[in-house]
A and B are shown apart, each in its own frame.
Chain A
Amino acid sequence: MRVMVLVKATEDSETGAMDPAWTAEMMAAMGRFNDELRNAGILLMADGLTPSAQGKRIAFDGPGRTVIDGPFAETRELVAGFWLWDVKDMDEAVAWVKRCPNPMPGPSEIEIRPLN
């Protein structure tokens, strides 16, 4: 089964102002984690999203289409990065996510959503 694994945003990722030393260490650890995923044969896609200030939304209401510029307010619900994995079941996905280095300087959440 395929899962989308979502790194949820934090104020840090939204402002983009993170300590370069921390960032370098995290990127190195994340690189090693992605290597493990790749070597296990389960990594399909991986990428980070720019802060929502660079994004747009289009609101649909009947025939109406309204364009809304970022940034968007509900930080904790925003997506900062994602993976697409080929896993056997949710247990495997959870086990892999637990091995992931913390993608944020402080507390953060990673969400797992199976594809249809």
Chain B
Amino acid sequence: MTAGDTHQAIEAIFRIERARLIAGLARVVRDVDRAEELAQDALVIALSEWPRTGAPANPGAWLMTTAKRRAIDAIRRDRMRERKHEEIARELDGGLDGAAEVIDAAMDDDLGDELLGLIFTACHPVLSADARAALTLRVIGGLTTDEIARAFLSSEATIAQRIVRAKKTIGKAALSFETPRGGERAARLASVLEVVYLIFNEGYAATAGDDPIRPGLCLEAQRLGRILAGLTPEDAEVFGLLALMEIQASRLSARIGPDGALVPLSEQTRARWDQLLIRRGLDALARAEALGGDGPYALQAALAACHARAPSWADTDWPRIAALYDRLRAVTPSPVVDLNRAIAHSMAFGPEAGLRLVDEIADAAALRNYAPLPAARGDFLFRAGRRAEARREFEAAAKLTRNAREAAFLLARAGACD
């Protein structure tokens, strides 16, 4: 084994330990940047020592002890003896009394909560959604600034700045890195889930760039969701979001056609759906429902599950989907939800039911230039035998869409109305 191989192996070990290491250090020094620095210092020492001594049996404990020792040394060297630094030094000193076994035992208990605390802090609502996403991918996901920049089609400099400012904001807000409890937990958790789903969606339905999907980014979000589920086994919406992401991710291969364009759900080749991810998603949904979950993520996951269980678009449990949309619009009302509800009702109860519902939202400002609206109305009219009106709707939809493939499809439907 050459020195280069060993370094690569040590860095791989470090990447596995990094998030928990930063979490434990941040809890003590109360500064994300400092925690990252200390973690990096520990890696440098590992790179110089482990090739000689071999990697320790518990690399996480070794890295944590090493980093904390450096923190103490730095604080002691620090001429500006603010009271805060003295307090921290006392805490650290106390923690390091005794052997590494003491740290091992404490770590098993505390590290889960420390990691959860770091996740909550990186996703604090005092930061913008973009800042939360970048910071979370950096300190929890361990992505480099370059990887994050490429994920969000931004420049490395922009992302680096965003992260620096996010850390400053956290510092100024004097956040404690503790896990929120009681009344504020639900709101803080919603902020975390929003970030994770934002990352997932950027991979699932990329808003910019050449690739309509970026599966690697979906996987980052799925991993974050899985980690969260392990850390918060009592939170229904965590399992709801995880279920939603696993089921949506199951369709990624089927979502792209041979021409590289997005394929709508109604036309996807279901044999290409990843059954392993569907199984994981359904299991997560069952956990969410057992925990009483009927929040927006659990509901969206239940909708996704209806599709996942169906052998075809036609053989889908449309009455159940219609009922789920009825509940979803009460929880997260939006014109797009209303449109999807109209489609579900038309599939479950006939085209006239769809027409009645779509007419209720015909004037919604948000749907004004939204091709799926006239496309849906066109479909309902076609199925109701009102071909001439259907043709006009399909043509209007074709004009609104910017997707050439979709336009061709809609014009073909218009042509079929004769």
Contacts and interface: CB of A to CB of B under 8 A. Distances in A.
A96 B55 CA distance: 13
Contacts of B222: 41, 86
Nearest to A32: B108
Contact of B16 (A40, A45, A86): A40
B223 A42 contact: yes
Contacts of A42: 223, 226
Interface residues of B, number: 20
A19 interface: no
Interface in A1-48: 38-42, 44-45
A83 to B, nearest CB: 13
Interface in B1-44: 8-9, 11-13, 15-16
Interface string B223-244: 1111100110000000000000
B13 to A, nearest CB: 5
Contact of A94 (B9, B230, B280): B9
A95 interface: yes
Contacts of A45: 276
Contact of B12 (A39, A40, A92): A92
Contacts of B55: 98
B306 interface: no
Contacts of B276: 44-45, 84
9 contacts: A39-B231, A41-B222, A41-B223, A44-B276, A86-B219, A86-B223, A91-B9, A91-B11, A94-B12
Given A39-B230, A95-B9, 15 more contacts: A40-B16, A40-B223, A41-B223, A41-B227, A41-B230, A44-B276, A44-B280, A45-B276, A88-B15, A89-B12, A91-B11, A91-B12, A92-B12, A94-B12, A95-B16
Closest 9 pairs (CB-CB, A-B): A41-B226, A41-B223, A91-B12, A95-B12, A39-B230, A41-B227, A95-B13, A92-B12, A95-B16
